[in-house]
């Protein structure tokens, strides 16, 4: 890991904020407002979260120290052959000489020196981030660099403790999953060396703070209104068109009908198969239904016993409907039904049928 010279620029990405973007504030503000990773969520949001800088750190080659680092709350660091005292006193000419002695090129030595300087010299207001176990994690370092003299190749030769451990949640308690973050940010996890600046630091800082993008807020509001409109249109459908809609939703989800829709079947409207999953589904479609009616059809499904999944689909329930919290039982009413239709690309179909 230490010998790869394909490094990112050593300069900070802490430019003045662009319109609509968040930027870091001067480091002298941190101790009046930095928040520990272990602080309770309610307390976190009550104070300012203003790191002075941000660095991504890889937790060992191929993440080999990740589990212990996250559990113990440390920032592990390599460069086993580099003299610790030279780093502590800032004898960077000597450190560079040692890097060159390891076989590094001039560029590689400069890159290694930058990483070592960052690890030893960045102040307590630096926000350290990493990716592991499908999440982005963040922490603040606490105290000086410590050395492990045991020469155990499975342990980092040096490390810094964190102020309150690593956190993989935003300040308002939302998980910072890799899949929920922009690919422009998560590609940082593929960085081949140890420490680098974060190109989209303002974006990650906003996500850690739990501050929503105004455009996201607007889009969410429009999506909610769209689901409401979709449900109103579904409730206007003739019952035959409603059955066709449900059939289309499942068909676009990869389910194949094995029976004629709604005909010659006493207990069920649709029997479907999912070739990729090797499952079959029993689907009952009702414009309106009560809990008693739902219980009746659930009983028929259970007595039939020929399908793995049960779907009860109803757009206008006569009161609250519930199913037991068991695998394979699915209740689609109201917003869930409208969302399924929209996700299946059937909004225009609804508009045409109800126009």
Among 177, 194, 195, residue whose Cα is nearest residue 186: 177
d(CA 133, CA 165): 16
Q: From first to last of its 355 residues, what are the pLDDT tens digits of the chain?
A: 444 333 333 333 333 333 333 333 333 333 333 444 444 343 444 347 889 999 999 998 888 999 999 999 999 999 999 999 999 999 999 999 999 999 999 999 999 999 999 999 999 999 999 999 999 999 999 999 999 877 787 889 999 999 999 999 999 999 999 999 988 888 787 777 899 999 889 999 999 999 888 888 899 999 999 999 999 999 999 999 999 999 999 999 999 998 776 555 677 889 999 999 999 999 999 999 999 999 999 999 999 999 999 999 999 999 999 999 999 999 999 999 999 999 999 999 999 999 8
d(CA 136, CA 211): 16
Would you state the pLDDT for residue 15?
Answer: 34
Question: What are the residue ranges spanned by the domains of the chain?
Answer: 27-211, 216-354
Asked whether 337 and 231 are in contact (CB, 8 A), the reply is yes
Would you state the pLDDT for residue 262?
Answer: 57
Would you state the pLDDT for residue 12?
Answer: 35
Expressed in angstroms, the distance from the first to the final Cα of the chain is 62
Would you state the pLDDT for residue 263?
Answer: 57
Would you state the pLDDT for residue 347?
Answer: 96
SS3 percent helix, strand, coil of the chain, rounded to 5, is 40, 20, 40
Q: Which residues contact 62 (CB under 8 A, 6 or more apart)?
A: 1
Would you state the pLDDT for residue 220?
Answer: 92
pTM: 0.67
d(CA 270, CA 257): 7
Report the CATH fold assignment for 216-354.
Trna Endonuclease; Chain: A, domain 1 (3.40.1350)
Q: How many C-beta atoms lie closer than 10 Å to residue 294's C-beta?
A: 20
Tokens at 191, concatenated: 């960085």
Would you state the pLDDT for residue 166?
Answer: 97
């Amino acid at each position: 890991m230490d010998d790869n010279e394909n490094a990112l620029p050593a300069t900070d990405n802490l430019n003045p904020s662009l319109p609509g973007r968040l930027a870091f504030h001067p480091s002298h503000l941190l101790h009046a407002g930095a928040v520990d990773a272990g602080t309770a969520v309610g307390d976190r949001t009550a104070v300012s979260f203003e790191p002075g800088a941000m660095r991504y750190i890889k937790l060992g080659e191929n993440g080999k120290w990740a589990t212990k680092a996250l559990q113990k709350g440390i920032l592990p660091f390599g460069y086993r052959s580099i003299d610790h005292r030279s780093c502590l006193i800032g004898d960077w000419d000597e450190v560079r000489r040692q890097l060159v002695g390891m076989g590094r090129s001039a560029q590689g030595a400069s890159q290694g020196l930058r990483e070592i300087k960052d690890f030893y010299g960045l102040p307590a207001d630096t926000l350290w981030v990493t990716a592991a176990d499908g999440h982005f994690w963040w922490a603040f370092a606490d105290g000086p660099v410590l050395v492990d003299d045991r020469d155990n190749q499975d342990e980092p030769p040096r490390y810094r403790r964190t102020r309150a451990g690593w956190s993989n949640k935003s300040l308002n308690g939302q998980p910072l999953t890799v899949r929920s973050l922009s690919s422009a940010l998560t590609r940082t996890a593929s960085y081949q060396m140890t420490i680098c600046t974060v190109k989209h630091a303002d974006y990650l800082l906003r996500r850690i703070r739990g501050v929503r993008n105004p455009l996201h807020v607007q889009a969410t509001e429009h999506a909610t209104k769209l689901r409401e409109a979709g449900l109103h249109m579904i409730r206007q459908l003739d019952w035959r068109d409603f059955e066709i809609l449900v059939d289309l939703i499942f068909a676009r989800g990869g389910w194949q009908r094995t029976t004629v829709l709604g005909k010659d079947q006493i207990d069920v409207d649709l029997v479907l198969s999912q070739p990729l999953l090797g499952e079959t589904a029993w689907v009952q479609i009702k414009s309106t239904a009560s809990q008693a009616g739902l219980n009746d059809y659930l009983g028929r499904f259970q007595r039939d016993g020929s399908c793995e999944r049960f779907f009860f689909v109803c757009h206008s329930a006569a009161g609250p409907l519930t199913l037991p919290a068991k695998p394979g039982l699915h209740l689609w009413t109201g917003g869930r039904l409208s969302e399924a239709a929209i996700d299946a690309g059937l909004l225009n179909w609804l508009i045409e049928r109800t126009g």
